[in-house]
């Protein structure tokens, strides 16, 4: 690579990754080649090496895995000066569909590698976190929906904590041979005897300093839960200690599951491993990639393994379905928001669990929790009367043992679950009553199973404490939870991350909502149902809440559509799911579309969307270029050089949603262009129906679209204009293309801030 382009190239990369002095140092080095000596680059002790991902784009044409991996060895040989052989520095090669590797390097070595011809980006490996019986029925997707013959050819790749092979959800009785397109493998280990015709592949990836048991077996439960929600068999009589009894099933019970274990107990999930799993899943021939993993921080698309991997998947017609994150309810908390993936938020269903508390004076409280324990009665004690002198927030075990502890002072269920509930359990209490958890959303449903009898009550008058003070022998009963109707559902769970997208805010994110609160699905029997140390209860099915649970609902729904329309692009599938989604109520979630996207998925309706908004790699590239990303940056995602021939504004991305940014009381006018493809009936005429609140004028032109054949496209423009006072607020409107049979609905969102 010639000096000049090398220098420009590196500047672009390092501007994003390193401090300014580092950039200046690099600039100096680039301008004064004579200084570039081995000493200078090897001045950091070897002990300071850490793991970097070196991304080099697509596998070069005509190269086999061996040839690709030898490129990597050559780079290390040229750059790294050490006693170890070059292969000792390479932790992993991406050699199946990508070209790249993970290596243990010093910062200087990483810097030098970034300088190499063909290297697109170098970034440190970081560790990411993992983020039912009635949920499918609730969203209008009963067991007897029409099924495609091709369903059993669909393969869903699940990047997660592995699988519990013995689960009834993954039994292969009645399954035909593995689809012939499958190119994957199954890693057998002493604790994992192999795959079957239901879960047809299993691999694991671990790059890092820890020493987990290397196996595809799920020791946590998360991966079995997500895989069974997407594609688990129908298992009747599923329940957790008789709670939530019903048939547990995935959207596509005949589809196959391919397991890519990238997350490890206590060690998280690393970029290096996520990218490796994408490389394999794409080469293995999966149709859908389901990723319920999120980052703790927002990164740009070029250092985000999920964004990079998803782009490549989408380009191969594989649908990337990803969880939005559990950092809600504030705006701008979304974690996975690249325009080429489906970003999924978590909603509630119409079910909730209530747990009754009865005091000795017969006062009753209907609290909430998932309490699987049979009714208990015990002496009540106020937590404040039993402090442990050893530390704050802890209880004196001698005083609380075998009693029901009453705790207050928590601001959210989640905080209480990790505070009061665990503390009481560890201190040997018989039960715990948490008073006054004031969620931002009132009684938010995001329970996890507790290790001891528990209930979260609202006792504004402190009647429980008054009762304790009124008698020498205060007692209470905590009953087992009972299943109730949640009449407000669906609304978005408070924990679900909200948009708008922090980088490209004119693309609506999240895209969709799906059930993610108190979902019952398959679980690992190596992990207790509460996941609290000391709880020994294990069960084949368990309740879990999170956007991690919402994501596989969309992965399953996408698989369902794919089984009918194998040639649809990921954007067409997303469009069908978005335009047919059930709109949700902004009175229950003020963030409106930034909370739930186009609404709650309705896979049955999505089967006949009428029109779809398609987009492909070229559109995303134009979008990135038009958003100020350089050729070099776009190359990281796309692997294509000089991709930016022309740019489009992000408003021009052919998305089935419209987002406008406005200032309070300032007039605005925004134009959009969109193209729809006819996938309904060959001859049909659609009329534009606009719903908009006061202050908003929306003009669609033309307002009639005529189609005479399938696959025909039509282009229209939308002008959104108006003046809105107050803010920050989210103002919702919509455009529906209606031909009498199909209503193709797109949200129009004005964000006033």
Residues marked as catalytic? 160, 222, 548
The Cα–Cα gap between 452 and 454 comes to: 6
CA 92 to chain centre: 25
Answer yes or no: are the C-beta atoms of 509 and 653 closer than 8 Å: no
CA 364 to chain centre: 39
In sequence order, which residues have a C-beta less than 8 Å from that of residue 442 and are 6 or more positions away?
A: none
In sequence order, which residues have a C-beta less than 8 Å from that of residue 50 and are 6 or more positions away?
A: 104, 105, 124, 125
CB of 602 to ligand NAG, least distance (A): 41
Pick from 10, 93, 369, 734 the residue near ligand NAG by CB under 6 A: 93
The Cα–Cα gap between 176 and 196 comes to: 11
By CB under 6 A, the residues from 64 to 83 that bind ligand NAG are: 65-66, 69
Q: Which is nearer to ligand NAG, 66 or 83 (CB)?
A: 66
- Helices 3-17, 20-31: axis angle to 10 degrees equals 170
Going through 263-334 in order, the beta strands assigned E by DSSP cover: 263-264, 268-270, 288-291, 293-294, 319-323
Q: Which is nearer to ligand NAG, 272 or 429 (CB)?
A: 272
Sign of CA dihedral 375, 380, 386, 392: positive
The Cα–Cα gap between 654 and 706 comes to: 19
* Span of 25-33, 89-97, 307-315, 419-427 interacting with ligand NAG by CB under 6 A: 89-97
Q: Which is nearer to ligand NAG, 205 or 629 (CB)?
A: 205
Q: Which is nearer to ligand NAG, 66 or 173 (CB)?
A: 66
Tokens 């309705």, residue?
602
Q: Which is nearer to ligand NAG, 57 or 489 (CB)?
A: 57
Burial of 269-286, coded b for 16+ CB within 10 Å and e otherwise, reads bbbbbbbbbbbbbbbbbb
The Cα–Cα gap between 570 and 315 comes to: 9
Q: Which is nearer to ligand NAG, 75 or 334 (CB)?
A: 75
* Span of 14-22, 92-100, 240-248, 567-575 interacting with ligand NAG by CB under 6 A: 92-100
By CB under 6 A, the residues from 95 to 124 that bind ligand NAG are: 95
Per-position x/- string for 401-440, each x denoting binding to ligand NAG as judged by CB under 6 A, each - no binding: ----------------------------------------
Q: Which two tokens stand for residue 181?
A: 């397109």
Q: Which residue is nearest to ligand NAG (CB)?
A: 69
CA 198 to chain centre: 24
Verify binding: residue 183, ligand NAG, rule CB under 6 A. no
CB of 95 to ligand NAG, least distance (A): 4
* Span of 91-99, 285-293, 339-347, 353-361 interacting with ligand NAG by CB under 6 A: 91-99
Q: Which is nearer to ligand NAG, 66 or 142 (CB)?
A: 66
From 258, 256, 338, select the one nearest 295 (Cα to Cα). Answer: 338
Verify binding: residue 92, ligand NAG, rule CB under 6 A. yes
Q: Which is nearer to ligand NAG, 58 or 385 (CB)?
A: 58
Q: Which is nearer to ligand NAG, 67 or 213 (CB)?
A: 67
Q: Which helix (H) or strand (E) holds 571?
A: helix 570-579
Q: Which is nearer to ligand NAG, 20 or 66 (CB)?
A: 66
The Cα–Cα gap between 353 and 518 comes to: 9
User: Is residue 57 reached through a cis peptide bond, with omega within 30 degrees of 0 on the bond before it?
Assistant: no
From 330, 207, 223, 188, select the one nearest 271 (Cα to Cα). Answer: 207
The Cα–Cα gap between 116 and 74 comes to: 11
By CB under 6 A, the residues from 27 to 66 that bind ligand NAG are: 65-66
Q: Which is nearer to ligand NAG, 92 or 403 (CB)?
A: 92
**φ and ψ of 377, to 5 deg:** -125, 135
* Span of 90-98, 372-380, 398-406, 436-444 interacting with ligand NAG by CB under 6 A: 90-98
Verify binding: residue 207, ligand NAG, rule CB under 6 A. no
Say if strands 519-522 and 512-515 run parallel, antiparallel, or are unpaired: unpaired
Q: Could you give the dihedral angle defined by the CA atoms of residues 114, 276, 231 and 540, in that order, rounded to the nearest 10 degrees?
A: -120
The Cα–Cα gap between 378 and 468 comes to: 13
Radius of gyration of the chain (CA): 27
Q: Which two tokens stand for residue 487?
A: 């009449």
Q: Which helix (H) or strand (E) holds 58?
A: strand 50-58
Size of the residue set binding ligand NAG (CB under 6 A): 6
* Span of 18-26, 35-43, 88-96, 332-340 interacting with ligand NAG by CB under 6 A: 88-96
Q: Which two tokens stand for residue 741?
A: 């049979």
The Cα–Cα gap between 498 and 274 comes to: 24
CB of 94 to ligand NAG, least distance (A): 7
The Cα–Cα gap between 214 and 204 comes to: 7
Answer yes or no: are the C-beta atoms of 518 and 370 closer than 8 Å: yes
CB of 50 to ligand NAG, least distance (A): 18
Q: Which is nearer to ligand NAG, 115 or 280 (CB)?
A: 280
The Cα–Cα gap between 323 and 301 comes to: 16
Tokens 């932790």, residue?
91
- Positions that interact with ligand NAG (CB under 6 A): 65-66, 69, 92-93, 95
């Amino acid at each position: 690579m010639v000096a000049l382009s090398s220098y420009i190239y590196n500047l672009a990369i390092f501007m994003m990754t390193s401090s300014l002095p580092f950039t200046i140092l690099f600039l100096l080095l680039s301008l004064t080649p004579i200084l570039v000596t081995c000493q200078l680059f090897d001045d950091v002790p070897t002990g300071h090496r850490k793991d970097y991902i070196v991304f080099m784009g697509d596998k070069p044409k005509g190269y086999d895995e061996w040839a690709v991996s030898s490129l990597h060895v050559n780079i290390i040989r040229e750059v790294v000066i050490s006693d170890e052989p070059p292969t000792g520095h390479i932790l992993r090669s991406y050699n199946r569909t990508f070209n790249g590797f993970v290596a243990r390097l010093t910062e200087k070595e990483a810097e030098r590698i970034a300088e190499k011809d063909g290297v697109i980006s170098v970034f440190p490996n970081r560790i990411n976190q993992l983020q039912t019986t009635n949920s499918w029925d609730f969203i209008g997707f009963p067991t007897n929906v029409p099924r495609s013959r091709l369903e059993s050819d669909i393969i869903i790749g699940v990047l997660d904590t592995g699988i519990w092979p013995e689960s009834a959800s993954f039994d292969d009785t009645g399954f035909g041979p593995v689809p012939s397109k499958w190119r994957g493998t199954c890693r057998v280990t002493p604790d994992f005897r192999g795959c079957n015709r239901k879960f047809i592949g299993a691999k694991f990836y671990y790059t890092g300093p820890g020493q987990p048991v290397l196996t595809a077996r799920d020791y946590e439960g998360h991966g079995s839960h997500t895989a069974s929600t997407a594609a688990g068999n129908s298992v009747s009589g599923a329940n957790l200690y008789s709670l939530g009894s019903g048939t547990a099933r995935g959207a596509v019970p005949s589809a196959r599951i391919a397991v890519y274990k990238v997350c490890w107990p206590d060690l998280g999930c690393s970029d290096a491993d996520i990218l490796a799993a994408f490389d394999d899943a794409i080469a293995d021939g999966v149709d859908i990639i389901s990723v319920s993993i999120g980052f703790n921080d927002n990164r740009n698309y070029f250092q985000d393994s999920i964004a990079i991997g998803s782009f490549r998947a989408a380009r191969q017609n594989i649908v990337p379905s990803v969880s939005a994150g559990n950092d809600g309810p504030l705006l701008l908390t979304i974690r996975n928001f690249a325009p080429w993936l489906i970003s999924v938020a978590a909603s509630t269903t119409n079910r909730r669990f209530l747990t009754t508390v009865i005091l000795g004076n017969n006062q009753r409280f209907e609290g909430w929790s998932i309490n699987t324990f049979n009714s208990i009665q015990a002496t009540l004690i106020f937590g404040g009367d039993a402090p442990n002198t050893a530390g704050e927030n802890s209880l004196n075990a001698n005083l609380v043992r075998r009693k029901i502890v009453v705790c207050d002072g928590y601001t959210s269920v989640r905080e209480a679950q990790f505070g009061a509930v665990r503390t009481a359990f560890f201190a040997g209490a018989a039960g715990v009553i948490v008073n006054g958890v004031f969620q931002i959303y009132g009684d938010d449903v995001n329970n996890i199973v507790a290790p001891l009898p528990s209930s979260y009550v609202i006792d504004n008058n402190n009647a429980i404490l008054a009762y304790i003070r009124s008698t020498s022998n205060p007692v209470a009963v905590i009953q087992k939870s009972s299943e109730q109707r949640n009449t407000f559902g669906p609304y978005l769970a408070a924990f679900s991350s909200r948009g708008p997208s922090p980088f490209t805010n004119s693309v609506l994110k999240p895209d969709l909502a799906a059930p993610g609160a108190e979902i019952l699905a398959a679980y690992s029997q190596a992990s207790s149902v509460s996941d609290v140390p000391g709880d020994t209860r294990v069960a084949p099915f368990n309740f879990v809440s999170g956007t991690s649970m919402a994501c596989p609902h969309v992965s399953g729904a996408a698989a369902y559509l794919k089984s009918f329309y194998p040639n649809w692009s990921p954007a067409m599938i997303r469009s069908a799911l978005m335009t047919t989604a059930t709109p949700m109520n902004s009175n229950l979630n003020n963030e409106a579309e930034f909370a739930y996207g186009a609404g709650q998925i309705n896979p049955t309706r999505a089967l006949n969307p009428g029109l779809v908004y398609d987009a492909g790699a070229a559109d995303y590239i134009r979008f990135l270029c038009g958003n100020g990303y350089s050729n070099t940056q776009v190359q990281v995602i796309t692997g294509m050089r000089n991709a930016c021939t022309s740019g489009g504004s992000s408003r021009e991305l052919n998305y089935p949603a419209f987002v406008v940014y406005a200032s309070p009381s300032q007039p605005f006018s925004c134009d959009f262009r969109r193209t729809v493809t006819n996938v309904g009936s060959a001859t049909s005429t659609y009329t534009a129906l606009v719903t908009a609140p006061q202050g908003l004028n929306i003009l669609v032109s033309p307002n009639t679209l005529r189609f005479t054949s399938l696959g025909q496209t039509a282009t229209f423009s939308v002008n959104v204009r108006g003046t809105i006072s107050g803010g920050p607020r989210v103002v919702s409107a919509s455009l529906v293309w209606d031909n009498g049979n199909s209503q193709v609905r797109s949200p129009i969102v004005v964000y006033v801030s």
